[in-house]
Amino acid sequence: MDEIVISGGHRLRGEIAVSGSKNAVLPLMVAGLLTDEELILRGTPRLADTRTLAKVLAELGATVAEFGNGPGEGLNIDTPTLTSTRASYEWVSKMRASFWVLGPLLARAHEAQVSLPGGCAIGTRPVDLYLNGLAAMGADISVEGGYVNATAKGGLKGARVDFPFVSVGATHVLLMAACLAKGETVITNAATEPEVVDVGTCLQAMGAQIDGLGTRILTIQGVEKLHGADHTVTRDRIEAGAFALAVAATGGAVTLTGIDEAALGALAPAMRLAGAGLIETDGGLHVTGPAGRPQPTPITTEPYPGFATDLQAPFMGLMCCADGVSRIRETIFENRFMHVQELARLGADISLEGDTAIVTGVEKLYGAPVMATDLRASVTLVIAGLMAEGETRISRVYHLDRGYERIEEKLSAVGAKIWRETL
């Protein structure tokens, strides 16, 4: 099993190219199942999660082929026929987003058996919104033996789907399902995350009729068939945010290429309050660290355009060394503070009060062995390790590999002392 080792205390300087978005490419790959023609996705990241999903899609009859290298690289997804409508526990338990094949399978084949999901252990993460939404569209659904069995004889029908709260995944699935349903579907309280907009834009290029992308109300007129398309994946705002925080944490100066300040969303003003500098240049977004210790900065996670829950842990990493107390509130997932005990091993002073972490900044973190507990927690340990004095050794880095492309290479190239050891 691999470990990542960091010798901390080095400023990051130079340029980092931001990869294609993990949270966009996964639903885009799933959308490939909606058509019997080829979907070409460009600028895709190479991640453990994309490889896992490729295996799920292959089980269903898709051929997923990688092409190119570097910025020109991508994936071809070709599903002339769905040879199976069953997504097994073996794969779905590895990654929650594989559950999303439920939407296209039901829409195109009118039936699906999909294992209940696994993925990061960051709360109970139920699937009621997906199932209630698909039931409203006429699907007959039962849950047995850990599998969702769904059928829609004669196809899904357009319906009104009112989500009680915002769910990114349920929005993706209902949006995809509605594209091939008969008649009009209206989804209220839809997610407006840039990744949902990216998927919607690709679906439009495939012939879908969608109104309201980027707003809380989506109106979809179902069509008979979708066709192939050629789509470039949006850049990863969550990876970009983690790099921006790593630069701030080390007091460095790095240009992030391929994104602008808007991509960071609510992270940008929070970083400015913390004392970091963000300047848009011709080459990208230039990030500089605060002159001294970061200023304590409160954040509350919320659905987009609020502060992204996926950046909560990395932001806490920066606040560990702030000059004062920061309150960090998590409102999306109920168990997304597993990084707290690992940060404490590096000397951070954090206490938990319900959904809020109270981070009392310390002058210095000190390297220690730590364990990655989930995807976003793992990158937080990287950021903390870059700040810490001495050596930090991170185990269970398969969490990191799920979502960050060649992170140790990207960080080494800007001056970090970080490497991978295979034990």
Q: Which residues are catalytic?
A: 120
Does 68 engage in binding with ligand UD1 (CB under 6 A)?
A: no
Does 123 engage in binding with ligand UD1 (CB under 6 A)?
A: yes
Using CA atoms, how far residue 11 sits from 125, 287, 388, 416, in Å, is 38, 12, 12, 7
- What is the rounded distance in angstroms from the CA atom of residue 242 to the CA atom of residue 147? 35
For the segment 315-344, give every residue that binds ligand UD1 (CB under 6 A). 332-333
Residue of 77, 45, 65 whose CA lies nearest to 202: 77
- What is the rounded distance in angstroms from the CA atom of residue 156 to the CA atom of residue 202? 21
For the segment 124-143, give every residue that binds ligand UD1 (CB under 6 A). 125-130
End-to-end CA distance of the chain: 6
Does 148 engage in binding with ligand UD1 (CB under 6 A)?
A: no
Residue nearest to ligand UD1 as judged by C-beta position = 169
Q: Which stretch binds ligand UD1 (CB under 6 A): 166-174, 200-208, 227-235, 411-419?
A: 166-174
Sign of CA dihedral 91, 237, 409, 417: negative
Residue number, 161 or 248, with CB nearest to ligand UD1: 161
- What is the rounded distance in angstroms from the CA atom of residue 315 to the CA atom of residue 27? 26
Q: What is the 3-state secondary structure (H, E, C) of 290-348?
A: CCCCCCCCCEEECCCCCECHHHHHHHHHHHCCCCCEEEEECCCCCCCCCHHHHHHHCCC
Q: Beta strand pairing status for 147-151 and 111-115?
A: antiparallel
Least Å from the CB of residue 189 to ligand UD1: 11
Q: Which stretch binds ligand UD1 (CB under 6 A): 123-131, 212-220, 272-280, 377-385?
A: 123-131
* Residue 22 and residue 62 in contact, taking contact as beta carbons nearer than 8 Å: no
For the segment 6-35, give every residue that binds ligand UD1 (CB under 6 A). 23, 26
Least Å from the CB of residue 311 to ligand UD1: 9
Residue number, 96 or 108, with CB nearest to ligand UD1: 96
Residue number, 284 or 304, with CB nearest to ligand UD1: 304
Residue number, 376 or 396, with CB nearest to ligand UD1: 376
Residue number, 254 or 268, with CB nearest to ligand UD1: 268
- Token look-up 């080390």 returns 250
Does 167 engage in binding with ligand UD1 (CB under 6 A)?
A: yes
Binding site for ligand UD1 (CB under 6 A): 23, 26, 96-97, 123, 125-130, 167-170, 309-310, 332-333
